[in-house]
Amino acid sequence: MKRRSFLRVGAAAGAGVLAACSSRPIPRPGVGVLVVGGGVAGCAVGYFLALQGLEVTLAERHGVAGYASGHAAGQLSPLAVPEPVRPLAAASFGLHLALWDHLRTTSGVDFEARRSAMIRLALDRADLPALERALAATRRDQARLAHALDLGPGHGLDVVPMSGDEVRALEPRISDEVVAALRTDGNAVIDSRGFTTALLRSAQRAGLVARRGEVGALVTSGRRVTEVDLGGARVRCEALVIATGPWAGALGRRLDLLVPIEPIKGELLHLDLAVDHDVGTGVGNDRRGGRDADLRTGNEDGAGPAVDWSGPDSSLYARGGRILVGHTWERRGFDLVPRADTRDLLLAHARRLMPAVATAQVLGHTACLRPVPRDGRPLIGRAPGWDNVYLAAGGGKKGILLSLAMGRAVTELIAHGRTELPIAACAPDRFARTYQVPSP
């Protein structure tokens, strides 16, 4: 994709927010950009850099999408995003819709992208005021989003109140406790691991080189990092991008940078509703042939948007004949071990939304660390005190959604010196040097 086409795609996706930037000489041949981090943020940066024709090396010490980017539910909702980040979320959502076809074609990866709906459930009348507030806020946000992306009539964004009976007509296994709901249409879902892999493979086709290795010594000259020891080999760099999620603080400290991102542990269960699993005997009765094996999509032919469900304490993400149950939010440092008590809690909360979960088979239980900045806003841009060090980290719960805007913005800063993406609220220099970052 040539630069002109690349900018045209961004402009269409962001309704003028992603306009072309003024030019600046790109890094000299043979000395390119080193991106550290193989999660979705690092792969998005590498993808956009490679499309710009820059020489890019992506370094990852374990494996691509090995942490949070490979264990996310993949729900893309630009709504319910805090105001300072909302314009960036809208622009990034537009980039997702605009670039999916290009990513599929150039990577050969089907990351199962589709538009979706989220149905928020009220389990008793005490939940109704919160549902009313959510209705007003969602209508406001959807109108702003449609305007920002210049979607026009028939854009698919909608919010519809539902009764408990209407919910159960759509999905009979939803609890009889549900008294009302709010259906939000126009979101999207992707397979997060597949999406991250697609970014990497597309970037590799455009020239990116991926290397596995631990970052060692950093060689500096004045306000620039000039070389990085990667697995015992020296890599020269014109620019360094730190995209290591909750570990960004550790690398930042080596450059005397404050990167106040902490790890927030989230656990997720993978359930198969198509198997009536007898917990006592371990024997399952496979019902995959029936329509009831899948969570209802809202369309009789099953070809409609995916429908996800959320309640006060749990979310059920429909993924074919499986559901993902999440998510927890715990401060446990860098602990990545799934806990039995958390599994029991997730199952108990899920059963309250959908009693059929009691007989579902647990296929998997994963834990990941979300990179959450102190103020909830990601760190995007040039690092304070350095001329060629950039940060792309801290997407938190919205990391998959924000990844494309983060990658695009950092690429434009490196290649052209400026970006018109709305990243002012995410400037890395906004923190005072008083916050202690947990050590891995």
Q: Which domains are delineated in the chain?
A: 3-94+193-260+374-430 (3.50.50.60), 115-186+264-373 (3.30.9.10)
Q: What is the pLDDT of residue 137?
A: 83
**Whole-angstrom Cα distance, residue 271 to residue 362?**
5
CA dist., res. 324 & res. 315, Å (int)? 8
Q: What is the pLDDT of residue 66?
A: 87
Q: Which residues contact 143 (CB under 8 A, 6 or more apart)?
A: none
Per the CB < 8 A criterion, the answer to whether 303 and 294 are in contact is: no
Contact, 187 vs 159, CB < 8 A?
A: no
| Regions of the chain short of the pLDDT cut 70 | 1-31, 147-156, 274-305, 320-321, 432-440
| Residue pLDDT, tens place only, 357-372 | 999 999 999 999 999 9
- pLDDT of 253 reads 94
Give the tens place of pLDDT for each residue, 289-322. 333 334 544 433 443 457 899 998 999 998 766 8
- The confidence score (pLDDT) of residue 3 equals 33
Residue 209 to residue 355: CA distance in whole angstroms:
48
- From the list 271, 292, 290, the residue with the least C-alpha distance to 362 is 271
pTM for the full predicted model: 0.86
Give the pLDDT confidence score for residue 11 in this predicted structure.
Answer: 38
